[in-house]
Structure 1
């Protein structure tokens, strides 16, 4: 049959619980917060990430003193099993300093491993100080209370770690928000001023004059672009993004090294249906490049299997811009051909297109499976009807753009 202990129960060392508690508090009273902090600083300032001065000694002393005060108060209220009573005021005080330390170390960019090592120095410093204050007769008491000391320090370390991680997450969110804001400014309605470009370069970790590539995928094509961005990220390469209303813009530093993550990302994106502008010179060029890439992406059709670049889609781009201004380049040609029969009109148009695409009578004839003389006769007929000589580049260019 078991009996619960009372405050007068005799412990293994021949003392009562009240006597042990009184002696324990006497030892705790002998702990000087200032001396504990001095010893802590002597050790922590020799540790990596603390010895370089990123945290001033005054800050370490301030938080060190508050930490030891909170720890001693927790030890005073803990029972022999190591479980603190931790009333609300004490818990709030300990949580407050844990949060203070966690936040300040996160902002000082102290690695979490270094932070945990430093905090657990508190146990060594406290325990050694208690040993110095104790006598041989206190040995059973120290053994009984060792778990209490470790429990209190470990709980404090866990609270500090939680505050640290939460602050690092906030910092990451803030940095991402600031960076995305700067990126948005680069692609705003007007080009960004030089000061903003400098800040964006620093936030993105890019040289101001970096060579860049820009791609925009519109509508459903944006999903494939996101996959390419994710694949690059898995290889440790960052492709920066900016959302438009119904499109996604991506840009990245040009990398011509075969096999590199960014080089492969560029090749993968070039194989998508999107607008692509390469060899952008510096962040100042991103604004215009982004507008061009967006315009190219919006010109893509189901027949396009790869990226539209300026040198391959310039005619389509020109036709779109002229149409926006209400200019129909081939209105007279279309009117002239409208007077032909359906079969003749189709043959003349396919002849003109084949020649415009190849620039060669022989190649155009082979493409249309007809004799070269037949093709030349159709070209002459086309000229007679429309007044456009397909063999003269200046005249042909009008149809190249109009029919793009």
Structure 2
């Protein structure tokens, strides 16, 4: 009986001992992961990957390899933590895979070299973990080795699938018939109605249905291509046409909440490009593309979203006026130069706020001042420069000049 009692006690204690051991093991594993340096991992990765023939020739800039390498290491390390949010991390790795797969396909990196490069991630991470571990961590490392490999292999498989899909998309783009029809839309002469009917049938779209058009210059074309690939995976077909200095893309509009096309449009609004919505079918596509291209050419370093006619028409107008060589508001600048720096700053701040809101109350609240104070500053501005910003026709000159 005594022996049975001891056995029962041991049986009850074992799960608790095992639980404590698991907690300690997870804590030690997290400690090792915390000691990993993304910068060091990235440096080691670049050193090794540039030894591969297809990466050594510089087709893919080292800065691009570093950017995606650092992002992948951050995601992989978080994925290795016990109890990590797997759904969120899988989605995060999917985004990185999309970026890497599309860019490597477009630069002509062979898929074999891409897979070799990604699996260097495992070698680098594992080597650093071995260097950080103590002799007593041997069992822990043995138990975790398969997990490390599975996470890296999953990332590699995701990237490979996206790469292959992008290569297939490239092959479709190169189709002479299809691309020939798309190119016709952007020629010097607008196609006749009969040709538009034929092109619509070949592309599988409604000739008169509304479209959305985006254009990006060379520096931002890669980001637009990534969004085109992402939209395709979600079920929205986008058509692309290369420009001498960038890329134009168009697709059928669909404003229904939750539609794939609407989601694609919202995603593209978050990248640097020119965007024109509600284009009236293929007839207006060429002009809309020219507008999108003009907006894309105005993108500045401070911009992080798409430029549209609704929000950025003034910048486009200012650019077009500046091309004529006629200064827009030299009298305003001269008049404001007579003010002291403090007064000038306050007047400009007041006018800019009012031009944005169109409301004395909202601007006063925005600037944390009394509405009478704001009105006095607007009157003072009118006295100095002769422009009453409460009159739209006069305010328009400042809207354009200060855009």
Q: Normalized against structure 2, the TM-score is what?
A: 0.54
Deviation of the 1:369 alpha carbon? 2.6
Deviation of the 1:367 alpha carbon? 2.2
In 2, Cα distance between the equivalents of 1:198 and 1:350? Answer: 53
In 1, Cα distance between the equivalents of 2:172 and 2:217? Answer: 27
User: What is residue 378 of structure 1 aligned with on the other side?
Assistant: 377
In 1, Cα distance between the equivalents of 2:208 and 2:316? Answer: 28
Deviation of the 1:174 alpha carbon? 10
**3-state SS, counterpart of residue 299 of structure 1:** coil
User: What is residue 274 of structure 1 aligned with on the other side?
Assistant: 273
Compare 341-350 and 192-201 and name the one that shifted more: 192-201
User: What is residue 318 of structure 2 aligned with on the other side?
Assistant: 319
Are the structure 2 counterparts of residues 386 and 174 from structure 1 closer, same or farther at C-alpha, using a change threshold of 3 Å? closer
In 2, Cα distance between the equivalents of 1:390 and 1:256? Answer: 36
Q: Deviations over 1:126-162 (max 9, x none)?
A: xxxxxxxxxxxxxxxxxxxxxxxxxxxxxxxxxxxxx
User: What is residue 141 of structure 1 aligned with on the other side?
Assistant: none
In 1, Cα distance between the equivalents of 2:216 and 2:203? Answer: 22
**3-state SS, counterpart of residue 214 of structure 1:** strand
In 1, Cα distance between the equivalents of 2:272 and 2:262? Answer: 18
Question: Is contact 2:185-2:191 (8 Å) kept?
Answer: yes
Question: Is contact 1:182-1:196 (8 Å) kept?
Answer: no
In 1, Cα distance between the equivalents of 2:174 and 2:245? Answer: 25
User: What is residue 393 of structure 1 aligned with on the other side?
Assistant: 392
Answer yes or no: is 1:303 the counterpart of 2:302: yes
In 1, Cα distance between the equivalents of 2:364 and 2:218? Answer: 39
User: What is residue 335 of structure 2 aligned with on the other side?
Assistant: 336
Answer yes or no: is 1:213 the counterpart of 2:212: yes
Q: Deviations over 1:170-200 (max 9, x none)?
A: xx77982122122122112332333432332
In 2, Cα distance between the equivalents of 1:175 and 1:329? Answer: 46
Q: What does 1:335-374 align with in structure 2 at a 5 Å threshold? A: 335-374=334-373
In 1, Cα distance between the equivalents of 2:394 and 2:352? Answer: 14
Q: Normalized against structure 1, the TM-score is what?
A: 0.54
Deviation of the 1:280 alpha carbon? 1.1
User: What is residue 176 of structure 1 aligned with on the other side?
Assistant: 175
Deviation of the 1:271 alpha carbon? 2.4
Question: Is contact 1:186-1:192 (8 Å) kept?
Answer: yes
Q: What does 1:235-314 align with in structure 2 at a 5 Å threshold? A: 235-314=234-313
Question: Is contact 2:173-2:179 (8 Å) kept?
Answer: no
Deviation of the 1:241 alpha carbon? 0.3
Are the structure 2 counterparts of residues 174 and 371 from structure 1 closer, same or farther at C-alpha, using a change threshold of 3 Å? closer
Alignment gaps of 5+ in structure 2:
1-167
Deviation of the 1:349 alpha carbon? 1.3
Question: Is contact 1:214-1:293 (8 Å) kept?
Answer: yes
User: What is residue 197 of structure 1 aligned with on the other side?
Assistant: 196
Question: Is contact 1:328-1:402 (8 Å) kept?
Answer: no
**3-state SS, counterpart of residue 206 of structure 2:** coil
Q: Deviations over 1:242-262 (max 9, x none)?
A: 111222111001123333332
**3-state SS, counterpart of residue 302 of structure 1:** coil
In 2, Cα distance between the equivalents of 1:236 and 1:339? Answer: 59
In 2, Cα distance between the equivalents of 1:341 and 1:175? Answer: 62
In 1, Cα distance between the equivalents of 2:355 and 2:173? Answer: 54
The structure with the greater share of residues assigned to helix is 2
Deviation of the 1:377 alpha carbon? 1.9
Q: Deviations over 1:84-115 (max 9, x none)?
A: xxxxxxxxxxxxxxxxxxxxxxxxxxxxxxxx
Query: Which structure has the larger Rg over C-alpha atoms?
Result: 1
**How many residues in Structure 1 have an aligned counterpart in Structure 2?**
234
Are the structure 2 counterparts of residues 357 and 198 from structure 1 closer, same or farther at C-alpha, using a change threshold of 3 Å? same
In 1, Cα distance between the equivalents of 2:256 and 2:173? Answer: 33
In 2, Cα distance between the equivalents of 1:219 and 1:188? Answer: 20
Aligned residues: CA RMSD: 2.2
Question: Is contact 1:214-1:276 (8 Å) kept?
Answer: yes
Deviation of the 1:364 alpha carbon? 1.8
In 1, Cα distance between the equivalents of 2:368 and 2:206? Answer: 55
Are the structure 2 counterparts of residues 358 and 237 from structure 1 closer, same or farther at C-alpha, using a change threshold of 3 Å? closer
Q: What does 1:49-64 align with in structure 2 at a 5 Å threshold? A: none
Are the structure 2 counterparts of residues 382 and 173 from structure 1 closer, same or farther at C-alpha, using a change threshold of 3 Å? closer
Runs of at least 4 residues off by over 3 Å: 172-175, 257-260
User: What is residue 62 of structure 1 aligned with on the other side?
Assistant: none
